[in-house]
Amino acid sequence: MHPIAEKIQSRFPGGFLSSNEWRGDLAISVKREALHDVCAYIRTDPEIVIIWCMSVR
Q: Please, are residues 15 and 33 in contact by the beta-carbon 8 Å criterion? A: yes
Run of H or E residues at 35: helix 35-44
Establish if 35 belongs to a structural domain: yes
Show the low-confidence residues of the chain (pLDDT under 70): 57
54 located within any domain: no
What is the model's pLDDT at position 8? Answer: 96
- What domain count does the chain have? 1
43: number of CA atoms within 13 Å, CB side?
7
Alpha-carbon distance 12 to 38, whole Å? 8
Provide the domain limits for residue 9.
3-44
What pLDDT is attached to residue 49? 83
